[in-house]
């Protein structure tokens, strides 16, 4: 099950989202709706939150995301807004948020929520099975994700992926965007950070070794990118969460 909170003071939109969630997701527990910052704090004190749908017109979504992430390090967030803001959309993806959606809420909300819930529920975004007998029937989308998930620790680039698929870099770039809702480098970074979070919380490996294990040759650069995604340095993350079981214990 996945605990989901809607942070929005727009009652009509909140009801629409609630109905869409109930219709499409049986594995979701809807927490009380937060319409103010104070309500969000009170709910966060009472419940474990795994996915937040934050309306940027109600609260600063980035501050709210950071607040929740400090309490729930594997949190996933979706941003909604009535304002089309390319810079905010870019920032949301850079911070590892699932999507930046414009109101009125439509089918894109279901797809974004599906991606968030699947990543939380310890499966790949497209339910990739570790079963070699299924290799011949893998869809192109499965092949893309499996290749990234198996080779994230290498010097993986869009060119390498394009060569593997025997496709042009342009077409692979569009394919990855359509599957993940973000570009190749953004997803690779988020996936590497998720694996690093697991190592930091469950092992005593030096941070430089963790960086190497997830594909970073420079531990300083790793620290910078890790903090961009999580809001914490690797050292601080380990001090806070070592020994805890991570929600996003993704398959590698």
Q: Cα dist. 143→113, 151, 186, 230, 249 in Å?
A: 22, 12, 18, 28, 21
Same structural domain, 179 and 210: yes
Q: What pLDDT tens digit does each residue of the chain (252 aa) get?
A: 688 999 999 999 999 999 998 888 766 889 999 999 999 999 999 998 999 999 999 999 999 999 999 999 889 999 999 998 888 888 888 888 888 999 999 988 988 888 887 777 543 333 444 444 444 334 676 788 788 888 999 999 999 999 999 999 999 998 888 776 678 998 899 889 888 988 898 899 999 999 999 999 999 999 999 988 888 899 988 887 765 434 333 333
CB 53 within 8 A of CB 17: yes
Same structural domain, 86 and 153: no
The domain in which residue 20 lies consists of 2-120
Same structural domain, 107 and 141: no
Place of tokens 């005593």: 204
Number of structural domains found in the chain: 2
Same structural domain, 10 and 116: yes
Question: 58, 92, 120 — which closes off a domain?
Answer: 120
Q: What is the C-alpha separation between 197 and 199, in angstroms, rounded?
A: 5
In sequence order, the 6+-apart residues with CB closer than 8 A to the CB of 149 are 124, 128, 191, 251, 252
Q: How many CB atoms lie within 10 A of CB 38?
A: 9
């Amino acid at each position: 099950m996945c605990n989901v909170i809607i942070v929005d003071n727009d009652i009509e939109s909140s009801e629409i989202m609630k109905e869409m969630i109930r219709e499409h997701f049986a594995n979701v527990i809807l927490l009380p709706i937060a319409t103010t910052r104070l309500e969000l704090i009170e709910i966060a004190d009472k419940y474990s939150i795994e996915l937040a749908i934050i309306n940027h017109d109600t609260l600063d979504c980035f501050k709210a995301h950071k607040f929740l992430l400090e309490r729930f390090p594997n949190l996933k967030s979706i941003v909604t807004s009535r304002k089309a803001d390319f810079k905010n959309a870019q920032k949301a993806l850079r911070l590892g948020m699932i999507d930046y959606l414009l109101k009125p809420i439509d089918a894109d909300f279901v797809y974004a929520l599906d991606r968030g819930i699947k990543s939380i529920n310890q499966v790949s975004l497209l339910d990739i099975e570790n079963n070699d007998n299924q290799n011949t029937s893998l869809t192109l989308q499965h092949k893309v994700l499996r290749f990234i998930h198996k080779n994230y620790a290498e010097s993986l680039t869009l060119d390498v992926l394009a060569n593997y698929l025997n496709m042009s870099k342009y077409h692979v770039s569009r394919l990855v965007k359509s599957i993940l809702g973000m570009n190749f480098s953004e997803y690779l970074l988020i996936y590497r950070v998720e694996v690093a979070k697991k190592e930091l919380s469950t092992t005593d490996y030096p941070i430089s070794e963790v960086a190497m294990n997830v594909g970073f040759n420079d531990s300083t650069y790793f620290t910078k990118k890790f903090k961009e995604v999580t809001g914490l340095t690797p050292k601080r993350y380990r001090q806070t969460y070592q020994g805890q079981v991570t929600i996003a214990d993704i398959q590698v």
